[in-house]
Amino acid sequence: MKFKILFSGMLLSGSLLGPVMLYAQEAPEDIALKSNEFEDSFYESLKQKGIENYDKAIAALQKCLGKEPDNAVVYSELGRNYISLKNYLEAERAFKKATELDPANRWYWQGLYDVYYEQKDFTRAITIVQKLMEWRKAYYQEDLVSLYMYTQQYDKALAVINEMEQTVGMSEKREMYRLQILSDGKLSAPKKETLEAAIKKDPKNEANYIDLIYLYSESSQEAKAEEVARRLEKEIPTSDWAQISLFKFHINNNDGEKAVQSMMQVLGSRKIDSKIKHRVLNEFLIFANNNPAYLPQLEKAVSHFENDRTINVPKEVGKFFFNKKNYAEAIRYFEKGIAQKEDDPEGVELLLFTYAEGAQNDKLYKTATKYIDLYPTQASLYYYAGLAANRQQQYAKAKDYLESGMDFVVEDAALLAKFKQQLDVTRKALGKS
């Protein structure tokens, strides 16, 4: 993953004479300009860059260098324009000069990093990222892992991954890299014997246990993998990694109580990436479906995701039960999903269908009529309102909803047939043909 910091061609204001701090350093465009002629040329370069006239921007910056040949900001701006023209040789020269003039400014090193990354010169990019880590270590360590993977330095990548697991926690991408390294015997990954020796030497180093668990799991030595996970749990009782592994073992052994304990520790951990938590929940969902006694624990687990803004977890769990035709459980989770996000037409449609299948006619009528006010042209809402009214023997209301809703049916023969079927029920009840 690459984190690029690109400077916009913003117009400089009067505040140019006062330094603006970003991460305790001045951004290149914000450093004070001296002479009017220099300022005019510099403004012109920014204007031309802003409208993508990079050649003219470079010409204006060359005029600036005529006035101030040792101005690091000008070299940095030259580098940016050369990158836009894909003239990487000149861009490299410009940023190198900027770093020589002001080696303490992170932005100039960032520019040099961008040059090497754009050219896929990952070996030289590694050197610059290691320099950038002096300012923001964790931020650039993510890049360093990817660069080591690109250059096939898997042992170094794994070492950085292990360090980051201890300092900033797990992530889906780093776990993917770890699996890639450990699952391929051709890669330069540590051997089981090496890891066993490392654990014996330093039993409190969590990363060695994790790597060994992966290696045993990948070679289908599940008993040994479980034994390592238990050793990890014993040495480091607070290890969330141990619980991820033990959770899988408990599920495989059909030990629901212990699986719940491990799952709850994982879901409550701040160190573990949300995608990993979703995977744990999915595994427990399948287990709970096959073991209904654990459905209350599933509901408690889902509550951990109530603030998740990326995925409506209750709705997705509801879909699982919906596909299994377990409408009672589907309703429970669709209702939670709607409470989490009320303006969700798909969620509403699923809930109404499930109410209809579960013969919850009062809820069906109230929900359908409520959403007609929000979505007055959605034909299916009128159908469900009419269906519920018919089932409650409120035939006059049913007639009104069904006849109104048919006007909004567009190229949906199946839905139109349902409307006609319910209208037949209504008219017979009202004694009309």
- The answer to the question of residue 32 being in a domain is yes
Residues 109 and 30 in one domain: yes
DSSP state at residue 22: E
Is residue 155 situated within a structural domain?
Answer: no
- Domain edge (last residue) among 97, 119, 141: 119
86 torsion bin: left (phi>0), alpha (psi -120 to 50), beta (else): left
Number of folded domains in the chain?
Answer: 4
**325 and 296 both lie in a single domain:** no
Give the residue among 175, 229, 226, 173 at the shortest CA–CA distance from 206: 229
**Would you state the pLDDT for residue 182?**
67
Radius of gyration from C-alpha coordinates of the chain? 31
Residue 347, domain member (yes or no): yes
Q: Are residues 24 and 54 in the same domain?
A: yes
Q: Are residues 4 and 85 in the same domain?
A: yes
Domain boundary pick from 119, 152, 177: 119
Both 377 and 343 in one domain: the answer is no
Question: What is the CATH classification number for the domain harbouring 37?
Answer: 1.25.40.10
Cβ(119)–Cβ(90) under 8 Å?
A: no
Give dist(CA 329, CA 322) in Å, integer: 8
Tell whether 72 and 88 lie within a shared domain.
Answer: yes
pLDDT digits (tens), the chain, 433 positions: 443 333 333 333 333 323 333 334 555 555 544 557 888 888 888 888 888 888 999 999 988 888 888 889 989 999 999 989 898 999 999 999 998 998 888 888 988 999 999 988 888 899 888 888 888 887 788 888 888 888 888 878 888 887 787 677 667 677 778 777 766 655 445 677 777 888 888 888 777 787 787 777 766 677 787 788 888 888 888 777 788 878 888 898 899 999 999 999 889 887 777 777 888 999 999 999 999 999 999 999 999 888 887 889 999 999 999 999 999 999 999 999 998 888 888 999 999 999 999 899 999 999 999 999 888 999 999 999 999 999 999 999 999 999 999 889 888 899 999 999 999 999 998 886 5
Q: Is residue 178 part of a domain?
A: no
Which stretch of DSSP H or E encloses residue 38? helix 36-50
Which distant-in-sequence residues (6+ apart) come within 8 Å of 60 by Cβ? 41, 42, 44, 45, 48
Residues 10 and 69 in one domain: yes
Of 67, 101, 119, which closes a domain? Answer: 119
Query: So what's the pLDDT on residue 150?
Result: 87
CATH number of residue 430's parent domain: 1.25.40
Residue 1 pLDDT: 41
- The pLDDT score that the predictor gives to residue 203 is 85
Q: Would residue 60 count as lying in a domain?
A: yes
Same domain, 329 and 381: no
Dihedral pair phi/psi, residue 35, rounded to 5°: -90, 155
Q: Are residues 8 and 111 in the same domain?
A: yes
Q: Which two tokens stand for residue 379?
A: 């034909």
Residues 27 and 70 in one domain: yes
Left if phi > 0, otherwise alpha if psi is -120 to 50, otherwise beta: which for 129? alpha
The burial class, CB within 10 Å (0-12 / 13-18 / 19+), for 212 is buried
Q: What pLDDT, on the 0 to 100 scale, is given for residue 317?
A: 93
Range of the domain at 388: 359-433
- Verify that 108 and 54 share a domain, yes or no: yes
Separation of alpha carbons 93 and 112, rounded Å: 9
86 and 105 share a domain? yes
Q: Give a yes or no: residue 126 inside a domain.
A: no
Domain membership flag for residue 2:
yes
